[in-house]
Amino acid sequence: MPSEPFYDPAKSYLDNFERGPFGLFANTSPTSQTTEPKHEFLGHPVFAPFGIPAGPLINGKFVKAALDMGFDIPVYKTVRTKKYACHPWPNVLAVKVEGDLAPDRTLVANEDYSEPLSITNSFGVPSYDPEFWQRDMADAAAYARPGQVVVGSFQGTLPENGRVADYLADFVLGARLVKETGVPVIEVNLSCPNEGTANLLCFDIQRSRQVVEAIKDEIGGVPLVIKMAFYKDEKKLEEFLREVGKTVDGIAAINTISAEILDADGKQALPGEGRLRSGVCGSSVKWAGVAMASKLARIRGELGQTFTIMGVGGVGSAAAFDEYRRAGADVVMSATAAMWHPDLAREIKEQAHEL
Ligand SMILES: Cc1cc2nc3c(=O)[nH]c(=O)nc-3n(C[C@H](O)[C@H](O)[C@H](O)COP(=O)(O)O)c2cc1C
């Protein structure tokens, strides 16, 4: 049964940040564990290879609630090296999709969050200053109990002068700042807008390689996860993995699928420039996440690589968790469904067959 979401779309990002999390995440206490963790994630024992990917856990209070609710691998939402404003409200709207969402569709948004649920999310990757988030992330990471691992996500910001060297330097600085928090695993978001075009960094293979190698040089032995978008072209994905796959420790995929979002009158639903198109996530993107997990597993085997596959997209049940694991995902994560099903980790621990 859908429950009150822990991130409330009816409220502003700031309200959620200051007053959230809500619903079952509001007053949590740690889940008692009577068994030993049987699974492993990038060198760390975990109770279940299940978590919440970068996004809905917008600060340490949200991460702590997720840990208490049994999400053993929560990711602290993507931060930047400087304060960065959030897009105007609304930042989350429901979208109606029949079946599987193909790329580049036009969808109608509303506020009906009933199932099967897909949403668009449009925040613009806001960030507080590192003075705030470093302390908050460190605190959240330290809250994890044995069998749980907090991941810190970040991304570089395009400099106004457009210089590639400055762009790379910002990724390196971000990686250093996240490492200083003591998080045991670092994630870099490569599925963010790149070089002023509608392209994503992960589709620019050589730039991705440069970014990832520069980060790895900076962070040394701390495991590095990259967050990728859906790659339709399998040959291109193989080329990407030949260049990047041996340098990274984990690949989390997918991010959202882009669509044009209109309101009931056919007008742009999200106010402001550059927001006609927006990323869609939730049940209608599961097909793409599962397909990506199986492509990653196949190519990883062929290339003899060893990165951990983190399957993301449309997971809202133990059956979906199982489907991802059978497709080749080592770890599975849920953002949209988890927001409305704060009990999802417990449900998966009780019901999944592929644990
Ligand atoms: C509210 C919200 C905020 C998100 N913010 C980020 C983000 O900051 N960084 C990122 O890499 N992905 C972000 N995502 C994408 C998710 O990590 C995930 O890739 C996507 O939502 C697909 O999973 P789902 O179908 O379970 O939602 C966000 C998703 C949601 C729902």
- Using CB distances shorter than 6 Å, the residues near ligand 1 are 53-56, 77-78, 92, 121, 123, 125, 153, 189, 227, 254-256, 281-282, 285, 312-315, 334-337
Measured in Å, residue 197 CA sits from the centre of ligand 1 at: 21
Q: What size, in residues, is the chain?
A: 355
**Rounded-to-integer distance, Cα 225 and Cα 307, Å:** 9
- Is residue 196 pLDDT above 70, yes or no? no
Mean pLDDT of 205-221: 97
Of ligand 1's listed atoms, the one at least distance from the Cα of 253 is: 19
Q: What pLDDT shows up at residue 32? A: 78
Q: What pLDDT shows up at residue 43? A: 98
Domains defined for the chain, CATH in brackets: 13-351 (3.20.20.70)
- Is residue 197 pLDDT above 70, yes or no? no
Measured in Å, residue 282 CA sits from the centre of ligand 1 at: 9
* Minimum CA distance residue for ligand 1 atom 23: 313
| 8 A C-beta contact, residue 254 and residue 285 | yes
| 8 A C-beta contact, residue 127 and residue 82 | yes
**Rounded-to-integer distance, Cα 78 and Cα 125, Å:** 7
Mean pLDDT of 206-211: 96
Of ligand 1's listed atoms, the one at least distance from the Cα of 78 is: 8
Of ligand 1's listed atoms, the one at least distance from the Cα of 315 is: 26
Of ligand 1's listed atoms, the one at least distance from the Cα of 281 is: 25
> How confident is the model over 123-176, as pLDDT tens digits?
999 999 999 999 999 999 999 999 999 999 999 999 999 899 999 999 999 999
